[in-house]
Structure 1
Amino acid sequence: MRDTVVDMVVVEGLRHTTVLLTGEMDRMSSPTVQLRLRRLATTTGRPLVLNLSGVSFFDAEGLRAVSATARRCEERGIGLAAVGVRPFAAKMFHILRLHERIPLCATETEALWCLLPPTDAELAAWLDGETP
């Protein structure tokens, strides 16, 4: 069995963090990715945008890593959205109902709109750079 690697680049935006993932999210690579995403969701107080356009393959472990990241973000009160999800992975997100917890967006701009805080007070705090 060949080794699989997922490259992960973290880009800090003005008020959010984008995580660019490339490679195959499978049984071999997903535990490391899950650990890194969990650590990021724990340490950042900012919304996360997962850019999955470079992920060429997902198996159950890859989807589990994304689901665990969503759970950690929910626990911390941090928004999470995904962009660039390929058709097969999008179908799996829908079958597993992950799209109900993680908005699947066409662009990063759309993802940022999905991540806006729901109330005026939360939006004002977010614009002022305050974290939950």
Structure 2
Amino acid sequence: MTKTANPFADFGKMMKDMKAPMFDVDAFMTMQQKNFEAMTTANQLAMDSVRAVFERQVQIAQESVEEAQTAIKSAAEGKTKVDVDEQTTQAKAAMEKASANVRELSEMVSKSQNEIFDVLHKRMLDGIEEAKGQFKLN
């Protein structure tokens, strides 16, 4: 009888000499822990931002109500005469203040978004570097 070659024997012999990467479970767990910490930090920054913006919006609303009450009280007491120039000036000042408030809130949100992005971006870059070292040749 003729002996037939076993193709798997040759494959096994070839694989025996190859160096295969080994997965480092501890390094992987450390990397995932750092990812979790970065996400927790980003989430905390987001919540702090929401709280700060909300508090500022409440403060702006309170100031606006107080200013409106003062204007109404002044008009009711007859201290304010109808003056188109003064009304125009007051309207302009109110619009400028409203625009400044919107700009301030927008800048608060933008600053927060940049801080959150920086945390996540740094973690992503660090994670890529860590992933490079994840596999070791034996």
Give TM-score scaled by structure 2 length.
0.20
More helix by share: 2
Which of these two proteins has the greater Rg computed from alpha carbons? 2
More strand by share: 1
Greater RCO, CA 8 A, separation 6+ = 2
